[in-house]
Amino acid sequence: MRFSKVAHAQLFLSTPNPSWFGNGANAPRAVGWDAENWLTSRFHFSFAEWNDAKRAQYGCLRVLNDDRVQPARGFGTHGHANMEIVTYIVEGELTHQDSMGTAETLGRGAVQFMTAGSGVRHSEYNHSPDTPLRFIQMWIMPRSRGLKPNYGSASFAPDARRNRWAHLVGDVDAKDARVAINQDANIFATEFDAGGKLPFALGARRQAYMVCLEGSVSLTHAGGSAQLDKHEACEVGGEVGGEQAFEVVAGPAGAHCILIEMAAAA
């Protein structure tokens, strides 16, 4: 097993013009704003204005954006196709509306997905007048193109991920995941108390991408370790033969993490 840390400095920081997504001018002095721009997005992989061949994807994980949207701002209606899009809400409330007739608002710890397939249009907004919204959006490449568009979501009580792995997303035949996608991939989340620890078993020919959303964590196994602070990530590569286990230990302020597990790249 190997760890490859993705430090905060390696992420691309995007602060797009508000008009590109149908927003009015920035209002950094407005109640609840904690940034100059309406959106601060940290790209883990090449996306939009960032093109880096060395950070194109990790296995079937094509995009992972850590988005912070200021109050009363959002992404106007836009289209997607041939991608499994999964969103995990870290802070605030996200309101989603799409061309399939879905409209709902989700809060911390909830997860939503779209099978964009043959094509879908949607919008994402932070309608709160005074609270920023933070969410993780992941694009996972599907096993086939042209699928029928679909949407789903699930909310979880805090205890479901408190010092345990909550299985948020799995393949369509997964038995314990609340949300199903069209790919051999699983997404887990956990919130640790200070010093909390959990093992994770990575199967043969499997790999994982773990992001520290809040707090700090250390990852350890017999051959090495990695320390992650807020926003940082780690690529975890498995071995060809046999299951490989590693341990995740939270720092003194606890931690909130998300882990995407998938088949290893050929």
- Strand bridging mode 179-181 / 166-171: parallel
Residue percentage of the chain with pLDDT more than 70: 98
Please give the pLDDT value at position 178.
Answer: 86
Q: Tell me the helix, strand and coil percentages in the chain, rounded to 5.
A: 5, 55, 40
Does 124 belong to an annotated binding site?
Answer: yes
Q: Which fold has domain 2-263?
A: Jelly Rolls (2.60.120)
Q: Is 78 annotated as a binding residue?
A: yes
pTM, full prediction: 0.96
pLDDT beyond 80 at 10: yes
What's the token pair of residue 143? 């096993």
* Contacts for 169 with CB less than 8 Å, ≥ 6 apart: 86, 111, 113, 177, 178, 179, 180, 181, 185, 186, 187
Query: In the chain, what are the domain boundaries?
Result: 2-263
Q: How far is CA 136 from the centre of its chain?
A: 4
Q: What is the pLDDT of residue 240?
A: 63
> How confident is the model over 75-91, as pLDDT tens digits?
999 999 999 999 999 99
Tell whether residue 122 is among the known ligand binding residues: yes
- Please tell me whether 36 is known to bind a ligand: no
- In one-letter notation, the amino acid at residue 257 is C
Cα separation, 86 vs 62, whole angstroms: 12
Question: Mean pLDDT in the chain?
Answer: 95
110-145: pLDDT as tens digits: 999 999 999 999 999 999 999 999 999 999 999 999
Measured between alpha carbons, how far is 71 from 194 in angstroms, rounded to an integer?
Answer: 30
